[in-house]
Amino acid sequence: MAMAGLYRRVLPSPPAIDFASNEGKQLFLEAIQNGTMEGFFKLISYFQTQSEPAYCGLASLSMVLNALAIDPGRKWKGPWRWFDESMLDCCEPLEMVKAKGISFGKVVCLAHCAGAKVEAFRSNLSTIEDFRKHVMACTTSDDCHLISSYHRGLFKQTGSGHFSPIGGYHAEKDMALILDVARFKYPPHWVPLPLLWEAMNTIDEATGLHRGFMLVSKLHRAPALLYTLSCKHESWVSISKHLMDDLPVLLSSENVKDIKDVLYTLLSNLPSNFTEFIKWVAEVRRQEENGQKLSDEEKGRLAIKEEVLKQVQDTPLYKQVTGLLFPEDSVCQLKAATESSLTNVAASICCQGAGLFAGRSGSSDRFCCRHTCVRCYRATGDNPATVVSGTVVNGNGEQGVDVLVPTSQEKTSCCPLEQDGCSPMHPGSNNVLTALLLALPPQTWSRIKDMKVLEEMENLVSAENLPPLLQEEILHLRGQFLLLKRCKDNKVEEDLAAPPF
């Protein structure tokens, strides 16, 4: 005999008003006329139902991130980049969220990790007047969205702690529109803002802390222009522990007498897979979308990446790192190594592309590329652009793939490719390592015993001495480091302040 399961709930009204009811529609129309539904339209375009009963925090965040058009920088499915609940797991394993839900602090952490700007407020450290002011600000604009963490019981609804975005506000009646992501349970509904404040001003039993609200907006530029920490990589916990906890102890125990000693100590003790921890941000495109031309947008992004790369290579630290890695005729050896590694980049990118266009995360077929090459495009009046190209072979046929490679404009006589106007100095190991050292928290070096060496090292890695573009890049990486450490140490609940991006 078939048994009926749960199919939705009847929305307790009052205190809530169903968005689709006559009264709910009237509130909507009046709020539109008063200009407090501006954020609604972006949110409703990306409104989603949480895919698991405990995924309300993840669904709310992915909905808001997509509404803000924040690029996740990695694919969802096929070739598409899109935020999905399954991608929001850098602060808490998904299986744990599925079983127990997620805390307010960890949703804030996830928003930071995803590249958003976040301001978070616990109810005991804010006021209803402040909350109303922020609701008004977010609902009269479409570049900021508010996620509320509240207890359903205050609305006579079943369940306990819940997350959902606020989609609008009716100022005259002081009512907020909750776009409930548990649409299998309750539809979107209007609630009195004072009652919503009471529902937020409750204790989360799992953490012993108050609930609250967060304002999520887009950073003024992409958080990672050229470099990013790969917190999704399985080894990030052990590598971050080594860099942030073990390295300072190691430096204090070694008798370092100069900068070369410091760098040698670090290099000789780096995990073999550290390059999986910090990566340069590659840009991959289908060949047929643009042919052999770069769009103005692509040229603009590439120019910024090249400027960041140039600024890295202009730092005194880069020269120290390069001298240590390539002690004899370092520039020419580095050029030769770069030319060789570009072929590897091409094969790697194309193999990733084979999996990407087949809807897989990777490809086990080492011969997925029929052809790879390095070539330069030059548009009239433009600098040459280095593009690694290949032909991806998968079950659906063949697909041409390009990866746009930021290059250095340095010129030396030992680089044969310069005859064609190309200087293939893409972000190699010495570039990545320099960025990594600059991004380490300043206290990393504080346990060097020799005061002269300590002072010299602090000057080399000081963010204050960097040009503005590189400084922003390094401070973003440094913020990622601190965020990862807070997640690892389970301290995200204690301090909701944004890291210094």
Which residues form the catalytic set?
A: 56, 162, 180
Burial of 464 (0-12, 13-18, 19+ CB in 10 A): exposed
Contacts of 37 (CB under 8 A, 6+ apart): 28, 31, 139, 167, 168, 169, 177
Q: Before 15, cis peptide (omega within 30)?
A: yes
DSSP-derived letter for residue 77 is B
- How many Å apart are CA 476 and CA 224, to the nearest integer? 7
Cα-atom radius of gyration of the chain, to the nearest Å? 26
- Burial letters 244-253, b for 16+ CB under 10 A, else e: beebbebbee
Burial of 127 (0-12, 13-18, 19+ CB in 10 A): exposed
Q: Which amino acid is at 170?
A: H
Q: For the chain, give me the number of helices (H) and strands (E)?
A: 17, 15
* H helix runs in 296-391, sequence order: 296-313, 316-325, 330-357
Kind and range of the H or E element at 44?
helix 38-45
The DSSP string of 250-281 is HHHHS---SHHHHHHHHHHTS-TTGGGTEEE-
Q: Name the 3-class secondary structure at 319.
A: helix
Q: Which of 389, 348, 459, 407 is nearest to 226 (CA)?
A: 407
Q: Give the relative orientation of helices 429-439 and 316-325 as an angle to the nearest 10 degrees.
A: 130
Give the side-chain half-sphere CA count within 13 A for 493: 14
* 34: phi then psi, degrees, rounded to nearest 5: -90, 0
Phi-psi domain of 156 (left: phi exceeds 0; alpha: psi -120 through 50; beta: other): left
Strand order in the sheet with 189-192: 17-18, 189-192, 175-178, 161-170, 144-151, 212-218, 116-122
Length of the chain, in residues: 501
